Structure 1
Amino acid sequence: MGKRALVLINKSAGTGKAGNNTFAIATGLAERGYEPIVYPIIPGSGLTSETIIGRYDGQVDEIVCSGGDGTLNHVVGAVMDIKDKPVISYIPAGSTNDFAKGLGIPSVHASALEVALDGYPFSYDVGKMNNRYFNYVAAFGAFSKVSYATDQDLKNILGYAAYVISAISELPQSLGYNSHMKIDIDGEIIEDDYVFGAVCNSGSIGGMNIFGKTDVKLDDGEMELLLIHAPKNIVEFNEILGALATNIESSNLITIKQVKKVKFMSETECEWTVDGEFGGAYKETDISVINKAITIKVKHKK
């Protein structure tokens, strides 16, 4: 039997254009000796990445997915739960495509298709938050809801601008947010009030380049922990804003560490965002990094 490729299309993601290249994807795969097996991803139905991929364990050589960061999150989660892990090709069709930017996958569909068909395999780190996997971010606190709470129709029309509008509308409640956390960072305990926290495998979150010129490595067995301490007055608040706008490492109110394992403990349940989707609410949250767990096609050999 020849090679087989599972093609998953989430047309409801991002701008709704994920299905436009389905024929080109199938044609390109067939020309390269693959038997393409095409499925639509329909949220809320039985056609999900988890159910489809689980049925093809050990039966496909590659998975091609077209959708947003959330689509890729579900594909990766399903691949992590099967025995034989095929290489993944990702054609980004979301509103911000943060993780694709970190991988160097083009946002233009034709260019992304070229990478999906003829790119180079690259194995990267995957995060695990409690019982859920993530590619590039698990976050709590101010503005962390924006990515999954923003109206999909607004995102389809405005793209990244929709996130900005939603963030502004949330500004009053976000500025008043803080969560008291005890955090175990690879055995070191710290404790404080935080307005935002994230474990990241990407320099871009919500379309914004959070870490500036810092080179965020995706395959070193570690992820970046970002903690923004709750400001006690307007001076500290302005200091945080200035650091985020210019140099994130310039303020003592912002903590950045590389981590392999981290545990967050709070007295009340804290809501989390995982790769732009609601990730649950917990009093205790364990996050670990699984080194080079997933292989994906990228533009340049790494």
Structure 2
Amino acid sequence: MAKKKQMLLIINPRSGREKIRLKLLDILDAYTGAGYQVQVHVTQKALDARNAVLKYGAKKDLIVCSGGDGTLNEVISGMMELAKPVSLGYIPAGSTNDFASSLRLPRQMMPAALNAVNGSPYAIDIGHFCEDRYFVYVAGFGAFTEVSYLTPQDKKNLLGHQAYILEGVKSLASIKSYSMKISCPEETLEGEFIYGMVTNTVSVGGFKGLVNQNVALNDGLFEVLLIRTPKTPLELSSIVTGLLLREEEKSDLVYKFKTNRLTIHTQEPVDWVLDGEFGGTRTDVVIQNLPQQILMLCPPAADTQKHAEKTENNENNC
């Protein structure tokens, strides 16, 4: 008898209205039928998923996680510390699932679960944040980092990414401004900034369109968006206009560029968000792209292309 392949299945039972509970037996049956011996770990607290990967992951042939972007972040953070690479399958079960959207993973739980064992390996870049943290798709600071995760999805769909900015700015007086020096191999910026994000995704907080550049998840580069502090309502309007510009079109208040490394120094401590979760308070930050670090199991390229064309056609018809 052939030796069974070993799987670690990590489940966040509280993600996405606990949908995994209704499908868990079907998922386990499918994985057993696919020749896996499954070890299930149900997370109980913060960092539990990361610690489970560190404790059990090295002896597995495949790690599958079910949860939201925060759970995925923990699992990949643990995998980055393993001595040998292990492939990763993902069953998105959170409320936002930004990175799953970028990977064109199925939205329904059973198709996603089957893709987690039958998909094609796709090597993705990972972000290294300072000395001790990782992020999968976004590191951000400033005025709008919480808004993206608090705004209802139907409102996002209706109003688009201009509303994302306006929702976060109830009045100019409410904007927190940070004095920063931001450096990368391509340029150095200094001054007052209200927002910044370093991304490797097509969707942030459920919004598509915040990153206007062509995004590749395995090119060794991040997409960076930085917004200077507006002084007047007219400048605030200019920011919204600047967000609509393509990368090659310049704005005095909005900067968009690609880079593989970024250093940020601030005069006062700044709160950071990593993949939708609190990432710490820091005055000095170094962000580096680690190319093609994790093998994700994704839909075949042909299916991905069809999905992309269907999505584009639906958006054009809206």
Normalising by the smaller structure, the TM-score range is 0.7 to 0.9
In structure 1, distance between residues paired with 2:78 and 2:282: 22
Q: Is residue 262 of structure 2 the alignment partner of residue 255 of structure 1?
A: no
Aligned-residue offset at 1:110: 2.4
- The structural deviation recorded for 1:22 is 1.8
Task: Give the SS at the match of 1:15.
Answer: helix
| Alpha-carbon distance in structure 2 between the residues aligned to 1:182 and 1:35 | 51
Structure 2 unaligned regions, length at least 5? 158-162, 305-318
- Which runs of at least 4 in structure 1 moved beyond 6 Å after TM superposition? 162-165
Matches within 5 A, 1:130-209: 130=130, 131-146=132-147, 150=150, 168=167, 171-172=170-171, 175-186=174-185, 188-209=187-208
Per-residue deviation at 1:51?
A: 2.1
How many Å separate the matches in 1 of 2:34 and 2:133? 34
1:295 aligned partner, one-letter code: L
| CA shift digits 1:32-74 (9 cap, x unpaired) | 1110111111125xx8112211122431000111100000000
Counterpart-to-counterpart distance in 2, 1:262 and 1:208: 24
User: Does the aligned pair in 2 maintain the 1:147–1:277 contact within 8 Å?
Assistant: no
Corresponding letter in the other structure for 2:73: N
Alignment deviations for residues 269-292 of structure 1 (CA, whole Å, 9 cap, x no partner): 010000000000000001000000
RMSD: 2.5
Percent sequence identity is 32
Q: How many residues align?
A: 291
Q: CA separation of 1:202/1:66 partners in 2, compared to 1, >3 Å: closer, same or farther?
A: same
The residue number in structure 1 matching 2:228 is 229
Q: TM-score, with normalisation over the residues of structure 1?
A: 0.88
Matched residue type, 1:5: M
What is the aligned partner in structure 2 of residue 40 from structure 1? 42
Question: Which residue matches 2:13?
Answer: 11
What does residue 53 of structure 1 align with? Answer: 53
Q: Which moved more, 1:110-119 or 1:89-98?
A: 110-119
Does residue 274 of structure 1 match 2:274? yes
What amino acid is the match of 1:143? F
CA distance in structure 2 between the aligned counterparts of 1:42 and 1:293, rounded to whole angstroms: 27
CA contact (8 A) 2:148 2:207 kept: no
Deviation at 1:200, TM superposition (A): 0.2
| Structure 1 unmatched runs, 5+ | none
Distance 1:76 1:191 in 2: 33
**Amino acid aligned to 2:38:** P
- SS of equivalent to 2:96: coil
> Which residue identity lines up with residue 199 of structure 1 in the other structure?
V
TM-score (norm 2): 0.84
Cα distance in structure 2, aligned partners of 1:242 and 1:232:
16
Bigger Cα displacement from structure 2, 260-269 vs 235-244: 235-244
Q: What does 1:286-301 correspond to in 2, within 5 Å? A: 286-301=286-301
State the distance in 1 between where 2:261 and 2:114 align.
36
